[in-house]
A and B are shown apart, each in its own frame.
Chain A
Amino acid sequence: MAIDARAAGRSLWSMPALVIIAVALTLALTAGPILLAGANPLEAYGEYLVVPLTSRYTLLEVLVASTPLLFTGAAVGIAFRAGYWNIGAEGQLLLGAIAAAGIGQATGDLPSPVALTLMVAGGAAAGAAWAVVPALLRVRFRIDEVVTTLLLNPVALLLVNGLLQGPWRDPISGFPESPRIVTTAELPQLVERSRLHGGFVLALLIIIAAWYVLARTPAGLRLRAAGLSPHAARFAGIDVPRTLLRAALVSGAIAGIAGMSEVAGIQYRLTSGLSAGYGYTGIVVATLGALSMPGIALAALFLGDLTVGASSAGRALAIPSQLGAVVQGTLLLVTIGLLAVRRNRLSRAVEPAAGEVVVAVEQVPGAELPPAATAIDEAGELEVDGRPEANER
């Protein structure tokens, strides 16, 4: 019954309300650990969320911290929308960083726009290349990409460390860091006396482009259909495997650009600590943003805020900065939980009036529920082929 669904959409269970509830619940749940760490929770939340927004420098730092999350959130969001559970953005990011660092050392006298274009293209290609094997395994042999993409992440990190210990070890300092990239290969600074760089703009452009493609083009609608209901998509003549493959490659490419952006905008070289788990945090961002690109942008900014806050709160309140990660993790779990409850509520409201659907909540495709949430939720029993045979209803 359409009326009920819309009513439910407006009520307590609407998306913005859900995010607010999720944040409030998270704060309540993390009060315990913060108290144990010897701080006043309210004060800690102030440090985490409000203080970063109060000074020019920290505000810009929030944007800096959000930049890689915008990329990885978009990367994960696109893949999840297609029903491809790419957990490998971390590895794809590192490969993008390797390519960017390699190109950035070698561009010599090329003008900056050319060098940067080459680095973006190289980063994207490397990220996509790291994504292609799991994607092919999934499409051809139905091998679960959650496992393969995840397991390739530490492999990518080993590759980085191998390079840094071996051929790319900085010849001057001897540190396990690559040589510095040439100055024309650096992303331009956006604001004086800050670390905010051109990668932020690039990330926003990618988010906008991704939004447009998903929401306004035939390819985007096909991708969404393939993710929401692979069987129905195939029935309608959509080449679901090819759609998945493309989504996986685009996802890997965007994650690769995230690595390029960190190399060319922040580190100016390849380091082993280049990514603070941005690929994994991208999953949090995408889920929290309900897989919609505007939502992902907001979620990335929010988590950037939290990241900056967590490091300063550590100093200000003498609590472990890891508590920031605890808050992040709790937020993810609470969000997933609320999305599941919401799906439950909506389907119950919809069911009887629909006249056909009867009992099991899990048989009803979640009302406006981003499939990602379901997927993470049930990660243990992910069905790679999107259950084409299942008679779920």
Chain B
Amino acid sequence: MNQANPGLAGSTGAAGSAGAASPAGSAGAAGSAGTAGSTGAASPAGTADIAVELRGITKRFGRLVANDHVDFDVRRGEVHALLGENGAGKTTLMRVLYGLTPPDEGEIRIDGRPVAIHAPKDAIAAGIGIVTQHFSLVRPMTVVENLTLGRAGGFRLDLERARRRAVDAAERFGIRVNPAAVVGELSIGEQQRVEILKALARDCRVLILDEPTAVLVPQEVDALFATLRRLVANGLAVVFISHKLGEVRAISDRVSVLRRGAMIGTVPGSTDERELARMMVGRPTFGVARSGTPDPAAEPVLRVSGLRATGRHGLPALHDVTFEVRRGEILGVAGVSGNGQTELVEVLSGMRQPVAGSVTVDGRELAGATPTALMAAGVGRIPEDRHASLVPDLSVAHNLVLERLDDFATRTGLDERRIRDHAQALIERFDIRARPDDRVATLSGGNIQKVLLARVLSREPKVIVVAQPTRGLDIGATEYVRGELLARRAAGAAVLLVSEDLDELLALADRLIVLYEGRVVGEMPAAGADPERLGILMSGRGQAA
């Protein structure tokens, strides 16, 4: 927000004073103006410094107002975080800025002059770059080729030079990628790293990062932040979209909070987390965490021993992985994405054949079993790619029964009435914001996850294999999902929780194992686990404990 004119988007209230050191009081009340503060020392404020300014942006989708007269600006040499829950309108606002969504009202100013941005090419020409949550990478091509695409001029393509440039860029920005790797074979996390690198390697003056850290480990986040600080010091303007408060506080000079399409306020990056959370959700939040310890004498339900599996293209992905999960216990699997977690979950979900080893549930051998056999044995599966685990074009009701259609069939066909009743009951029990007939594709990420959760948990599984259960979810949905997992733990389920979110693992898991390059390199109780040490193990520099 421009200090000289601190009137805030869509709010008629008076803005707080620019110098306010403690925002807690003035920015708290919902709907009132926040504090138009800034870290004056770090980035000298003034109209001249504003790289991009959005004024009065309004965008409606039918009856939904995604952006309601939103004002937003970002200055050269600052990281300006855009904070808000899913559906708050952050992404829409950035789509407007990037020319992907035409606004109904409002204007965009670059260097103080109104500009027309009708398409991404206009935005690119204006020096705006974006890294979205979804990748614009050519999957069959290598990292180098992807980085070179669109920038290679001339007739001849010097791949060796391109490779050197890629390696150089990777080092400069502190992002580890194998330049020769084919993008399609990289994990989601690795692909995102390439995306970030691609955007960083382009010379843009305003960089929009849409939840860029979702798949990075703490060290990588630190490296990214160091990179961003370096770039910002050189005059780059960064818009940092996130709903992770810790991150936002760590990197941002200013934070603007969107809620249900309206700009709630802009506050300094140093603002207290609870305060930011309150601005974001309109109520104080409470962390969800485990309580009590599982019975150490409880019998192991899920035993995995000597498990080996190959990943894409037949390369070894799991080496002699051995662990067990007891009744009423959550075993957390920590690790940087791409270290075998995906393959582990696929094997335990019946989606990948192991090469060797044993997987038993209550003593029954299930290595290489089909999804049907696993479900029959009481294994509930919630994998990381929740969209690919449901059929988006089928209704919520049909997705909820897809695993067990025979239970909902009469002699003449599907019992649609029972299917609907079943859906209605789960919708109420799991607080899914949808109707039974809504197609899953029309739901928000949080609700899609709830549908999957409902489908799995309603069958009272003995074993739950769950990966990245809260990735991309807002605070409300995250708390809900975590609460449900803890409830299953309390009910005696054995839960294997794979997550890249260390805070999540530390809050939920009883014990942790660390996967690095397909091996279990460490095991420890979560209670006294030191994040620092976990980070070291995750990066392969520690010894097995």
A residues lining the B interface (CB < 8 Å):
1-5, 7, 212, 216-218, 221-222, 224-225, 228-229, 231-238, 348-350, 352-360, 363-368, 389-393
Across the interface, do A237 and B375 meet the contact criterion of CB distance under 8 Å?
A: yes
Q: B61, A349: Cβ atoms under 8 Å?
A: yes
Q: How long is the Cα–Cα vector from A123 to B441 in the complex, in angstroms?
A: 41
Beta-carbon contact of A235 and B393 below 8 Å: no
B392 lies within 8 A of chain A by Cβ: yes
Question: Judging by beta carbons under 8 Å apart, are B91 and A358 in contact?
Answer: yes
- With CB as the reference atom, state the residue of chain A lying closest to B381: A235
Residues of B within 8 A of A212 (CB): 413
Q: Say whether B35 faces chain A, with CB atoms less than 8 Å apart.
A: no
For A363, what are the chain B residues with a Cβ–Cβ distance below 8 Å? 134
The reply to whether A391 and B392 contact each other, CB–CB distance below 8 Å, is no
Closest-CB distance, A234 to chain B (whole angstroms): 7
For A353, the chain B residues whose CB sits under 8 A away are 61, 64, 66, 87, 444
Which residue of A216, A358, A367, A389 contacts B134 across the interface (Cβ within 8 Å)? A358
A-B contact count (CB 8 A): 158
Are B210 and A358 in contact (CB-based, < 8 A)?
A: yes
Given contacts A224-B394, A355-B444, 14 further A-B contacts (CB under 8 A): A1-B442, A4-B442, A7-B62, A229-B391, A234-B351, A234-B371, A237-B375, A349-B62, A352-B66, A352-B95, A360-B134, A367-B439, A389-B312, A391-B385
B163 to chain A, nearest CB (A): 25
Number of B positions contacting A (CB below 8 A): 64
Question: Do residues A355 and B435 form an inter-chain contact, with CB atoms below 8 A?
Answer: no
B332 within 8 A of A: no
Partner of A393, one of B387, B438, B439, B442: B387
A238-B402, A392-B388 given; A359·B136 CB < 8 A = yes
Cβ of B390 < 8 Å from any Cβ of A? yes
Q: Is the CB of B133 within 8 A of A352?
A: no
> Which residues of B, 406-453, contact A by the 8 Å Cβ criterion?
406, 408-409, 412-414, 416, 434-435, 438-439, 441-446
B100 at the binding interface (Cβ < 8 Å): yes
The complex places the Cα of A236 from the Cα of B66 at a distance, in Å, of 34
**Residue B539 at the chain A interface, CB threshold 8 Å:** no
Complex CA distance for A6 and B371, rounded to whole angstroms: 34
Interface members, chain B 335-356 (any A CB < 8 Å): 349-351
Select one of A225, A237, A349 contacting B394, CB under 8 A.
Answer: A225
Residues in chain B near residue A349, CB distance under 8 A: 61-62
**Those of B103-142 within 8 Å (CB) of chain A:** 132-134, 136, 139
Say yes or no: B61 contacts A4, CB within 8 Å.
Answer: yes
Chain A residues with CB under 8 A of B392 = 228-229, 232, 365
Instruction: State the CA gap A200–B16 with chains docked (Å).
Output: 78
B394 touches A352 (CB 8 A): no
Beyond A221-B398, A353-B64, A391-B188, whether A236 also contacts B136 by CB under 8 A is no
**A356→B90 CA distance, assembly (Å):** 11
Contact, CB under 8 Å: A4 / B62 = yes
Q: Which residues of B contact A3 (CB under 8 A)?
A: 62-64
Query: Most chain-B CB neighbours within 10 Å: which of A218, A352, A360, A365?
Result: A352
Asked if B92 lies at the interface with its beta carbon under 8 angstroms from chain A, I say yes
B405 and A2 within 8 A (CB) = no
Is there contact, CB below 8 Å, between B439 and A5?
Answer: yes
In the assembled complex, B370 has its CB within 8 A of some CB on chain A: yes
Task: Show 14 residue pairs from A and B whose CB-CB distance is below 8 angstroms, ordered by the A residue.
Answer: A3-B64, A4-B64, A7-B63, A222-B405, A225-B394, A228-B392, A229-B388, A235-B349, A352-B59, A355-B86, A360-B136, A365-B441, A366-B393, A393-B134
- A391 touches which one: B62, B388, B406 (CB < 8 A)? B388
With contacts A3-B63, A349-B62, A389-B312 known, is A235 near B371, CB below 8 A? yes
Contact A216 B388 (CB under 8 A): no
Chain A residue contacts of B414, Cβ below 8 A: 216-218, 221
